[in-house]
Amino acid sequence: MTVPPISTSDPQVSSEPRRTTKETHPHLPPGLILDENGKVCKVCNTWQDFAKINKKQQTQSSDGTSSQGKTALKGMSMAGFANLLNNSQASSSNNPTLAPVEVDRSNCPPDTASLGRSTWTFLHTTASYYPSNPTEIHQSKITNLLESLSIFYPCSWCAKDFQKDIRQNPPEVKNREDFMRWLCERHNTVNKKLNKPLFECSIKNLDRRWKDGPEDGSCD
């Protein structure tokens, strides 16, 4: 079975280094990751990234932001804050988008963390239920899915790194156990990059987490 290599002309592949507001928008709060069009990218940042910047804005007393503006920033949704940054209107206290909003985030668009958790849940669960003796078609389809994910994953910087990783470590999909271990290692590559703890990639540990649940029955 042969799967064509990922083309480097795919739209999400870019040789551009990741850019943040620090380099590109010196008049805006630094540290937020931008998309490839230079806009603050919701699925490349977390709610916490926005909250940290909100907090900084509130503690800056001499930056010219009015108390009305500060109060508004405190309660602002991530979408509102992204719009604010994208419109370069950080000092405007008259902007209607500054109205305080208490957000129940359960029905909000995903940030990079919730998108990541959902995607890993889908991938590891799919690997857990992958056949022990997959057909050629199974192998080809799952490889296509992984390669497509590496192109269309909405956090484009994450997608770019994932593409590079699976180019260096092509999907191992000859059976369920190989696939589970391969995926665990790919997830650990991201964990390492983000300074998160590494997962122990034994089948027993993976089955416990993604298929059977713990022996004490606490997930039954």
- Judged by beta carbon, residue 19 or residue 93, the one nearer ligand FAD is 19
Phi, psi of 196 (to 5 degrees): -100, 160
Query: Which of 194, 216, 218, 219 touches ligand FAD by CB under 6 A?
Result: 194
Residue 29 CA to residue 22 CA, distance in Å, equals: 7
Tell me which of 140, 177, 188, 207 binds ligand FAD, using CB under 6 A: 188
Burial class (CB in 10 A: 0-12, 13-18, 19+), 35: middle
Distance, in Å, from the CA atom of 195 to the CA atom of 213, rounded to the nearest integer, reads 26
Question: Which span sits near ligand FAD by CB under 6 A: 9-17, 35-43, 115-123, 140-148?
Answer: 115-123
Residues 116-155 that bind ligand FAD (CB under 6 A): 116-117, 119-120, 124, 153
> What is the C-alpha separation between 144 and 2, in angstroms, rounded?
11
> Residue length, the chain?
220
- Site map 160..179 versus ligand FAD, x via CB under 6 A: -xx-----------------
Q: Which residues bind ligand FAD (CB under 6 A)?
A: 112-113, 116-117, 119-120, 124, 153, 157-158, 161-162, 184, 187-188, 190-191, 194, 196, 199, 209
